[in-house]
Structure 1
């Protein structure tokens, strides 16, 4: 399959009507105050055309599919994944997809990994930073990571609202501060729990250029010198673990985050993301202008995506 010239968007969300209906019926809401944005495949293609995006790898965003009933979560995950696969079949040169899992249901998630990757041949899996109170890297989630490691899967980690964040009482939307901090926390847990070492075949992609990770990387690397609880880690092993991650640029394409990212990550691990339709076109255009002003050519991000998702070649 040969896709058109242009950007490859690894952080873009599909919002089919049946999904919005299921979320609203559960009593959950969108992460932005305006509610779920308008979305159709045609609107997505129009956005792509306006912004030079050749190919979009769609995923389902928080709040996900699990709202307390395991059977309904499994059914909704299956319906979402089948929908993404159908969309990719209808527009094979324009759309791909990342499978959603009915986490924290481990048995259902293992079945859905097999279906999403082995039957539907989606491009990877989307996981959230935490489920309940536990972050990825907690041993409770090891069966899922083991299966993804066996599949040598690409896993996009999207931040979500942890119960502790929701209890802070701040009159600030969670997407602004708590989402990037959720990404920061899950990276710390994946590294210092040893999960990054235990599952070397998973290619983890971090939303929003890793949240605060570029800034905190040196602090992470100093941890073995400070606290005996980090015995077994060295400065270099921590920095090497950070270099394992891929970083996508949505809402984080400014000169300061990109400069910090360049200190800890090879450019071959940088990807483009728009976070559309939650982020309007103006945000995408501002990010594109900032990347261009910093000298980062779109082809860099495209070639990295082609290497990460070889099906697109």
Structure 2
């Protein structure tokens, strides 16, 4: 079974939140043809997309062609809207969460859903997470790597992580609003350099800020193979060692990093083997970033190409680990 943990989806029709709430940063969909659209932000094209991004039927067609049994659906990060008024952002979250839940309900054998929450308001986020998990039947929550420039270890977010651990809600952390973005426009470095660096900062913040020590049962998975985090982990350990006055944890970062999950989207068998060697094959889930340009085609190619993996390890990474991370009984899925 192949479970693509990292895919993105958006409703075909999005309300005009700029008109309703004001502010130009709301994403809108501007159709270019029956099978294509532009995601517009502040009157400019943010991303050109096809019907792959909203049509479950088109997705299933691609899944069948590429050998994927199940996609895990998550929102596109540009829709997080953490910058907005919390009430408006909560409404944006609900529209997407309802759409994802309806898509899963329509095709329960092919899709699993993750929701989104307005993390600029932790109370509203906990309320919407409760609705996502306990009413809509979504299996986790996708959040960004920072909230309006605040790292994830900021005290304001403690109650959110506490609730996620209490309810056993898996969190998928995806980069957005990358650090140094003013230096990234040329060469699309935001996607190739900024996002991996941003992900590393988020992971390090959760560890060094004491979040993972405080909530040891918190389930967290990082996009894009954890970005640069796996490779700078020894440097984080060294920093912890030489600056004891800065420590907020009783053990070095590598101790807490063992609890993290990572998707497999690092394109190269050498990188995937490094990830497996450092964290264990049980902590890696296959993810492709469907349907965007930087996605892996076919999903799981890097797993197939990593010859050092045993068949047991390969099957776990391709599907079993994702289902386990999402608290889904593997036996139920296999018997469908």
Same fold by TM-score, threshold 0.5 exceeded?
yes
Question: What are the Cα deviations for residues 199-242 of structure 1, in whole angstroms up to 9, with x where unaligned?
Answer: 122210010110011211111122222213443657x6421211
| Separation in structure 1 between the aligned mates of residue 241 and residue 7 of structure 2, nearest angstrom | 40
Query: Are positions 1:24 and 2:19 aligned together?
Result: no
> Following TM superposition, by how much is the alpha carbon of 1:166 offset from its aligned partner in structure 2, in angstroms?
2.3
> Following TM superposition, by how much is the alpha carbon of 1:152 offset from its aligned partner in structure 2, in angstroms?
1.3
Question: What are the Cα deviations for residues 89-118 of structure 1, in whole angstroms up to 9, with x where unaligned?
Answer: 111111111110012122221210110011
> Following TM superposition, by how much is the alpha carbon of 1:263 offset from its aligned partner in structure 2, in angstroms?
3.3
| 1:51 aligns with one of 66, 79, 93 | 66
The DSSP-based 3-state class of the residue aligned with 2:257 is helix
Matches within 5 A, 1:142-181: 142-162=158-178, 164-168=179-183, 170-173=185-188, 174-181=190-197
Query: Are positions 1:61 and 2:76 aligned together?
Result: yes
Summarize the Cα distance change of 1:182–1:19 in structure 2 as closer, same or farther, 3 Å threshold. farther
| Separation in structure 2 between the aligned mates of residue 289 and residue 80 of structure 1, nearest angstrom | 30
The DSSP-based 3-state class of the residue aligned with 2:328 is helix
The DSSP-based 3-state class of the residue aligned with 1:176 is helix
C-alpha RMSD of matched pairs (Å):
2.5
Matches within 5 A, 1:92-241: 92-162=108-178, 164-168=179-183, 170-173=185-188, 174-231=190-247, 233=249, 237-241=252-256
Which residue is 2:24 aligned to?
A: none
Query: Are positions 1:274 and 2:288 aligned together?
Result: yes
Tell me: higher relative CO, structure 1 or 2? Use CA pairs within 8 A at least 6 residues apart.
1
User: TM-score of the superposition, structure 2-length normalised?
Assistant: 0.82
Which residue is 2:57 aligned to?
A: 42
| Separation in structure 2 between the aligned mates of residue 52 and residue 259 of structure 1, nearest angstrom | 23
Question: What are the Cα deviations for residues 173-222 of structure 1, in whole angstroms up to 9, with x where unaligned?
Answer: 21111111110000110000000111122210010110011211111122
Stretches of structure 2 that go unaligned for 5 or more consecutive residues are 18-26, 30-38
> Following TM superposition, by how much is the alpha carbon of 1:37 offset from its aligned partner in structure 2, in angstroms?
4.0
Query: Are positions 1:307 and 2:324 aligned together?
Result: yes
Summarize the Cα distance change of 1:117–1:29 in structure 2 as closer, same or farther, 3 Å threshold. farther
Summarize the Cα distance change of 1:44–1:21 in structure 2 as closer, same or farther, 3 Å threshold. farther
| Separation in structure 2 between the aligned mates of residue 306 and residue 27 of structure 1, nearest angstrom | 34
The DSSP-based 3-state class of the residue aligned with 2:180 is helix
Aligned length: 303
> Following TM superposition, by how much is the alpha carbon of 1:24 offset from its aligned partner in structure 2, in angstroms?
2.7
Asked if the contact 2:287/2:300 (under 8 Å) is kept, the reply is no
| Separation in structure 2 between the aligned mates of residue 273 and residue 30 of structure 1, nearest angstrom | 31
Stretches of structure 1 that go unaligned for 5 or more consecutive residues are 1-5
| 2:5 aligns with one of 5, 10, 31 | 10
| Separation in structure 1 between the aligned mates of residue 136 and residue 2 of structure 2, nearest angstrom | 24
Asked if the contact 1:19/1:80 (under 8 Å) is kept, the reply is no
Summarize the Cα distance change of 1:279–1:170 in structure 2 as closer, same or farther, 3 Å threshold. closer
| Separation in structure 2 between the aligned mates of residue 35 and residue 160 of structure 1, nearest angstrom | 18
Which residue is 2:304 aligned to?
A: 292
| 1:83 aligns with one of 95, 99, 107 | 99
User: TM-score of the superposition, structure 1-length normalised?
Assistant: 0.88
| Separation in structure 2 between the aligned mates of residue 20 and residue 212 of structure 1, nearest angstrom | 36
Which residue is 2:21 aligned to?
A: none
Runs of 4+ in 1 over 3 A off after TM superposition: 19-22, 29-34, 229-234, 287-290
